[in-house]
Homo-oligomer: A and B are copies of this chain.
Amino acid sequence: MASKAFAVVAGVGPGTGAAVARRFARAYPVALLARSPENYESLVEEINKSGGKAIGISTDVSSPESVKSAFDKIQKEFNSTECAAAVFNASGRFVRKPLLEMSVEDFSAGWEVSCKGAFIFSQAVLPLLLKAVDGSKYPPTIIFTGATASIKANALMSSFASAKFAMRALSTSMAKEFAPQGIHVAHAVIDGVIDIPRTKEWLKDAPPEAKIGADDIAESYWNLHTQSKRCFTNEIDIRPMLEKW
């Protein structure tokens, strides 16, 4: 591990977040943020045992205090103020309901994490990404995990889609503001079912290529990170071979 700069992944569960953490741990010490420690504990152990370096911090990304405290701890534990790569993979409580049956709290649930949380996380990590601009092999990178609902607002999906549309706008605005300062900002539209324990029963009679591989997403995120200053991609879509779209 030659690098002094670290990576951080917000929203680590058994799917994309974990895969991304594993992938980036091959190059950087990595901090895993999730609300519940059970979401990162075994992964932290796995990475540390296999020669990488990882810490996990229980964090509520919708709380500025919680996020600030997490980043204080990261910098102390890794003895570094430089962040090479940040991935925002958190999503709020998913609400799929007729509009007239939703409470204001239901409707806001998506935005609280996906957009306000993304903003709070970005404010905390951008100064550390900026510190890594000069010394980094690859342009410091922040990637946001979006969904089909980032670009398509279906019926009953007003909470999730409005939150994801909002996060996408945040990502684009940030890309335009921070690219000239050397930061690579990217957004991924994950357009299909990711193959994780929770989706085991979905599409179960279909072949493996009906679902998206979390490891494959991680590899694509890594490829975004390693793009040079002369080649920034700000948005990719990802879907399985057998997706209907």
Which positions in A face B, CB cutoff 8 Å? 64, 98-100, 102, 104, 107-108, 111, 115-116, 119-120, 122-123, 126-127, 139, 149, 153-158, 161-174, 176-180, 182, 184, 195, 208-209, 211-213, 216-217, 219-220, 223, 227-245
Contact = CB atoms under 8 A, between A and B. Distances in A.
Given A230-B211, A237-B233, A242 B180 contact: yes
B176 A170 contact: no
Contacts of A220: 223, 227, 231, 233
A195 B231 CA distance: 11
A173 B153 contact: yes
Given A166-B163, A170-B158, A230-B208, A104 B241 contact: no
A243 to B, nearest CB: 7
B162 A170 contact: yes
A227 B239 CA distance: 11
B173 A155 contact: yes
A237 B240 contact: no
A139 B237 contact: no
Contacts of A158: 119, 169-170, 173-174, 177
A172 B156 contact: no
Contacts of A211: 230
Contacts of A216: 227-228, 230-231
Nearest to A239: B232
A177 B165 contact: no
A128 B214 CA distance: 30
Q: Which 7 A-B pairs have the closest CB atoms?
A: A216-B231, A213-B230, A165-B169, A155-B176, A153-B169, A162-B166, A153-B172
In this complex, which of A104, A169, A182 has the most chain B Cβ atoms within 10 angstroms of its Cβ? A169
